[in-house]
Amino acid sequence: MTAHFESPSASSAASVTFRGLVGDIGGTNARFAIAERDHGKTKLRNFKSFETHGYPNIYAVIADYFRDLGGRPELDYAVLAVAGPVKNGQIKFTNLDWLVTEAELAKSSGAKKSRLINDYAALAYALPYMDGDDIKTLGPVTKGFGDVHAVMGAGTGFGASVLVGGPYGPYCLSTESGHASWAPVNDFEADIHRFLRKKLGRVTIENLLSGPGLVNLYQAVSSVRGEKALELTPAQITNIEGPDGQGCRYTVETFLDILASVCGDLALCHGATSGMFIAGGIAPRLLRFIDEGRFRARMEAKAPLADLVAAIPSHIITHPCAALLGSAHALTDAEITG
């Protein structure tokens, strides 16, 4: 593997090229690690997670993290992945009364360089460093071509980013693909779309491929089947052994079909010939339900470019801290030293 975890006692400062604070900051938890980059290999050490509730700001959480380390280490860079849009080097969290800026991050961490990035940008930066232990490949295609990767995922919302290779290092393009319109591909999905259009107006990808989207989809599937929908949460829907198991099975199957179709759509839209990677909190939990042949058939049904999409691999990210790994690589060597 190119990125892994070791105990703090295994640290050897003499061989480290760059050391950075990396974080994955959500509305409920903030996860941190110290990243050590040495000639293309990355080690994430001193991993710790904090509940954000009760902290006045992110800098107080960072101070507690450094206190647990026994003091603030000397850092070359600090990168935090945040769930939301970063504008002008800062982010205002929607579900926390926090304003985070790159300038204050540099002060609190003591790092020479600091950066705030979107959480899906962090996942994109991790893609070149994923190997067989970090992903589950769906179907027989294991390696793509070109130098464009893309990551997408369903969680609280739907996120997607693109990583483009270049002579000075990769460049990430954050997107709002989740707000693109969803296009049904058969009569059953057309009926689902009709139901959701009456409920929501315009129907987007995120209206189906997300936690709230699972609820929308369950209600739509129930209506199309002529059944009464129960008041179920996303977790109850993905637990197909619970209430309305049959309706939940139909919903999960339809969710995975739509996920596969969108995977193929984004592969074309973003030119992601190196591979499509699926992240987020939902898809990894549904791995046991995925029929790889069915998934690939839906993904590749992109005439007249079906042959192109058929050559693009599809993977589900299983790395436990992919956003931290990507944060470790969000700055190039030149950006750190410049």
Give the span between the Cα atoms of 323 and 119, in whole angstroms: 7
Same domain membership, residue 227 and residue 289: yes
Give the span between the Cα atoms of 182 and 258, in whole angstroms: 9
Average pLDDT over the chain, rounded to an integer: 93
Helix (H) or strand (E) holding 256: helix 245-270
pLDDT for the residue numbered 13: 45
Give the span between the Cα atoms of 145 and 64, in whole angstroms: 44
Same domain membership, residue 229 and residue 109: no
State the CATH number of the domain containing residue 286. Answer: 3.40.367.20
How many domains, in total, are found in the chain? Answer: 2
pLDDT for the residue numbered 4: 41
The lowest-confidence range among 72-81, 129-138, 203-212 is 129-138
Give the span between the Cα atoms of 248 and 202, in whole angstroms: 24
DSSP-derived pairing of the beta strands 148-154 and 135-138: unpaired
The answer to whether residue 131 scores a pLDDT higher than 90 is: no
State the CATH number of the domain containing residue 25. Answer: 3.30.420.40
Q: Is the pTM of this model over 0.75?
A: yes
What digits encode the pLDDT tens for the residues 196-250? 999 999 999 999 999 999 999 999 999 999 999 999 999 999 998 889 999 999 9
Residue 130 within a domain: no
Chain centre to alpha carbon of residue 92? 20
Same domain membership, residue 252 and residue 312: yes
Provide the pLDDT confidence category of residue 3 given band limits of 50, 70 and 90.
Answer: very low
pLDDT for the residue numbered 16: 59
Same domain membership, residue 257 and residue 142: yes
pLDDT for the residue numbered 132: 84
Q: Which residue has the higher pLDDT, 8 or 239?
A: 239
Sheet holding 29-38, edge to edge: 3-6, 41-51, 29-38, 18-25, 77-82, 113-118
Strands (DSSP E) contained in 271-329 are 275-279, 314-317
Residue 202 within a domain: yes
The answer to whether residue 88 scores a pLDDT higher than 70 is: yes
Same domain membership, residue 286 and residue 217: yes
272 CB-contact burial (10 Å; exposed 0-12 / middle 13-18 / buried 19+): buried
Same domain membership, residue 232 and residue 88: no
Strands (DSSP E) contained in the chain are 3-6, 18-25, 29-38, 41-51, 77-82, 90-92, 99-101, 113-118, 135-138, 148-154, 158-164, 171-174, 275-279, 314-317
Residue 302 within a domain: yes
